[in-house]
Amino acid sequence: MGSPELASDLNDPLSKSWKHRLLTTFLVVLGSIGILFPAWLPDHPRLPTEESAVEGLQVALLLLAGAFWFGASKPAGKTGPFYQIMGIAALAGAFGEGDAIFEETTKIPVDYIFGILALYTMVIFLKHRKAFGPFVHEMTSHPAAGFIASAFMMIYVMGRFLGTPLLWKATLGDAFHQDIPDTVQGYLELLACYLLLIGTLNMCLATRQDDPTAHD
């Protein structure tokens, strides 16, 4: 049986805050370098193309983020159902990025999957709508919200702006090629998926005082 002082030290978020910051910084730097991996792939018809490798990494990162959201739903307590909704959103994003592969292998339109996930999300939301306020407060008051917000801004603002052909046509003139905006947008989305994963890890692995799965 451990001492109360030791248990308190292990559960104190401040005692591990510098380790969390160091680990987060390391993961961000490592991921920022790692997302360039598809660019190092040799141009060979029998090997995965850069575009398919980028999409594959996006799907993998989104699936991993979804797994953490679902895994953290029970320790989250009353806000757990909205962790499941976040996991569903990550799963839907993975289906959206890998729709071509999914439809080719299963012969099922991905829109059907979106419909099922949307219906399930609606059921969860209506059943646990009273916990929506506490979840929003928990999310917005956590530093992980910055990573998640940055990911969405990168996808829906920077990705749309830097991924438009008009910008690159005006910049490059006759040297313009359609692969340029597509590649830029793809890598921005990949970086956004990685930032989303970092935010998910920080949020889901946070120490909670009211964790219903904790043992005395």
The predicted pLDDT at position 209 comes to: 58
> Minimal CA–CA distance to 128: which of 72, 70, 73, 81?
81
> Minimal CA–CA distance to 75: which of 216, 199, 210?
210
> Minimal CA–CA distance to 31: which of 212, 201, 179, 159?
201
The predicted pLDDT at position 90 comes to: 94
- Going by the DSSP 8-state scheme, the letter that residue 17 receives in this structure is H
Q: Does residue 114 lie within any of the structural domains?
A: yes
The predicted pLDDT at position 40 comes to: 54
Taking the C-alpha atoms of residue 99 and residue 115, their distance in angstroms, rounded to an integer, is: 14
Domain containing 107 equals: 16-204
Name the percent of the chain in helix, strand, coil, to the closest 5. Answer: 80, 0, 20
**Total domains present in the chain:** 1
Q: Does residue 5 lie within any of the structural domains?
A: no
Query: Could you tell me the two tokens for 97?
Result: 């990025």
DSSP alpha helix (H) spans, 79-178: 80-97, 99-106, 110-127, 132-140, 144-153, 159-162, 165-172
The predicted pLDDT at position 9 comes to: 43
Q: Does residue 4 lie within any of the structural domains?
A: no
Q: Which amino acid is at 67?
A: A
Residue 204, H or E segment: helix 179-204
- Going by the DSSP 8-state scheme, the letter that residue 214 receives in this structure is -
How many CB atoms neighbour CB 136 within 10 A?
13
Q: Does residue 3 lie within any of the structural domains?
A: no
Q: Does residue 209 lie within any of the structural domains?
A: no
Q: Does residue 213 lie within any of the structural domains?
A: no
The predicted pLDDT at position 98 comes to: 83
The predicted pLDDT at position 6 comes to: 39
Q: Does residue 85 lie within any of the structural domains?
A: yes
Specify the residue for token string 């690159």. Answer: 168
Q: Does residue 175 lie within any of the structural domains?
A: yes
Taking the C-alpha atoms of residue 14 and residue 19, their distance in angstroms, rounded to an integer, is: 10
pLDDT digits (tens, 9 = 90+) for 186-207: 888 888 998 899 899 888 887 6
- Residues in the chain, pLDDT under 50: 1-11, 13-15, 45-48, 216
